[in-house]
Structure 1
Amino acid sequence: MAPAWAKSAARPSKPHDVGRKFFADGRVMPFAGNTIICHLPQQGEGSEAFRAMLDIYRQLPAMPFARKMTALPPSSYHMTVIGGANDKDRRRPLWPAGVPLDASMQACNDFVGDTLRAVTLGDDAAPYRMKVNLAEPAADEEPLTIRLLPADADTATKLYRLRRRLAERMGIGIESPDDYGFHMTMGYAIDWLTTSENQAFRATLAEWKAELARRAPVITFGAPEYCLLDDMFHFARQFYLR
């Protein structure tokens, strides 16, 4: 049986992020906002995960499902610690409590940045040791995401506690603060997959994740970064949280 995000008469005409983050033809749309992330190390020690994901990026265009996805630039690969505010979700509790709903995006960025500069991570500081979640993705999960799990109890404690702390400081609400699904996004669906495309995708994703886990059993992320974005292709670091 096809999953919820495969082609179905019961589904919207396009996946969730079409018309929000991407045009129907796959081009990236404006999506201004701020976020706290850890970029995937791309150079030197600890960069094997990036090289493995770069191989996935190289293989993707030849796949039967590739035309229904927009791949993100490898330079954008990151793990989200906690999402901030964005220009398309101006409502509580997604928009900071200390910022008027009609404030400019720049004013919101400045408020969040000033707030985060005053944060000292202490016991919640990096490194964060993660591993690939090899479980099959949920039926309603759209491609293309690499799900992650904390590799040890210390990392889990630090990350979930940090998410609660940052949400409180920024004045935003987060659902299920203690079971957030950490992940790295490699691409977005721009059309529903057919049953055969879905079967190919899920089989290929399982192979990709297994190879990534083999090459990088533990993926170590450094200090969280306060980043600004104009769209989903680039996350511009403003400063590290220490």
Structure 2
Amino acid sequence: MTIITFSPELLLYSKSHNPNPPTHLGSRYREVGGFLPEAGNTIVCHLVKGSPTQMALIEAREKYLAMAEAPQFLFTPVSSLHMTLFEGIIESRRRRGYWPDDIPLDAPIDDMTELLAARLEGFSTAESFKVTVVEARPSGLVVDGATEKDRKIMHAWRDAFADLLGYRQPNHADYQFHVTFAYPVERLEDEALPRWQAMLDEVTADIRRKAPVFELTPPAFCAFEDMNHFRELLIFDFDA
């Protein structure tokens, strides 16, 4: 008898191991009807259009969509695929630690985006970094710097943004970089877990083979109205 070991990431999406409702259900998206308005801003690296990385991640996303339980997830558009480098502010999270200390918590989002963009104009270019997949999970991919040096550079970017913008979230030091494919609407039954573990392992291996280092655009400060589209307002070029 083969014993299957489930990853901790998969078990977070299991009904029996995590019976709590999905975190953003009802605020970021509905069970039926798609994404809800949830305006904010963020700093992300998009996938380079037409690159082998984009193709590999689209193929990976298709494997998720082919799962029998795919209707239990709400998928983001391919055009929105990105890796968040630094989380900005968002309408649904107006509290200290997630908002500049010197700005009232009731400031309009559009005003906040303009203010933060002005602060980021003072950002000097920084070293480039390489990103690779760590593992696949039901909502998408866990990623990180390809080497220890890359990981240090990514965190240096985060520290610089935190200093300029005036806040550090509680998970600032141990933020888990990721690429989101989908959000859970309903958690997985136990009988689905072996199928999902096999699919996630396959996706991870495929991406490591086809896109060992991700082709990403330079970080960009973006505004969004919901999770469908991230509009680039300010691009931070890498040091030459």
Is 1:199 matched with 2:194?
Answer: yes
Segments of 4+ moved more than 2 angstroms: 1-5, 8-12, 56-62, 174-180
- What's the C-alpha RMSD, in Å, of the aligned pairs? 2.0
Q: What amino acid is the match of 2:26?
A: G
**1:140 corresponds to:** none
CA distance in 2, matches of 1:80, 1:162: 12
Q: 1:41 to 1:155 in 2, by over 3 A?
A: same
CA distance in 1, matches of 2:163, 2:95: 16
**1:39 corresponds to:** 46
Match for 1:55 among 51, 59, 73?
A: 59
CA distance in 1, matches of 2:119, 2:212: 35
* Per-residue deviation, 1:176: 4.4
Q: Helix, strand or coil: the match of 2:130?
A: strand
CA distance in 2, matches of 1:104, 1:80: 22
* Per-residue deviation, 1:58: 2.9
**2:3 corresponds to:** none
* Per-residue deviation, 1:4: 4.2
Paired residues of 1:151 and 1:218 also in contact (CA < 8 A):
yes
Paired residues of 1:76 and 1:235 also in contact (CA < 8 A):
yes
* Per-residue deviation, 1:18: 0.7
Unmatched tracts of structure 2, length 5 or more: 1-5
* Per-residue deviation, 1:237: 0.4
Deviations 1:181-226 (Å, cap 9, x if unpaired)?
2111111111111112233222211111110110011113232100
**1:70 corresponds to:** 74
Q: Number of paired residues?
A: 229
Match for 2:107 among 103, 109, 117?
A: 103
TM-score norm. by structure 1 comes to: 0.87
**2:232 corresponds to:** 237
Unmatched tracts of structure 1, length 5 or more: 138-142
Is 1:165 matched with 2:160?
Answer: yes
Q: Helix, strand or coil: the match of 1:108?
A: helix
Q: 1:220 to 1:62 in 2, by over 3 A?
A: closer
Q: What amino acid is the match of 1:19?
A: G
Q: What amino acid is the match of 1:40?
A: L
CA distance in 1, matches of 2:17, 2:206: 35
CA distance in 1, matches of 2:121, 2:207: 34
Q: What amino acid is the match of 2:28?
A: K
Identical aligned residues as a percent: 28
Paired residues of 2:134 and 2:143 also in contact (CA < 8 A):
yes
Q: Helix, strand or coil: the match of 2:234?
A: strand
Q: 1:97 to 1:50 in 2, by over 3 A?
A: same
Deviations 1:53-92 (Å, cap 9, x if unpaired)?
1112333332112010111111111111010000111110
1:131-146 equivalences under 5 Å are 131-134=132-135, 143-146=138-141
Q: 1:112 to 1:4 in 2, by over 3 A?
A: same
Q: 1:61 to 1:167 in 2, by over 3 A?
A: same
**1:23 corresponds to:** 30
CA distance in 2, matches of 1:10, 1:223: 36
Deviations 1:14-42 (Å, cap 9, x if unpaired)?
31111121101251111100000000111
Q: What amino acid is the match of 2:221?
A: Y
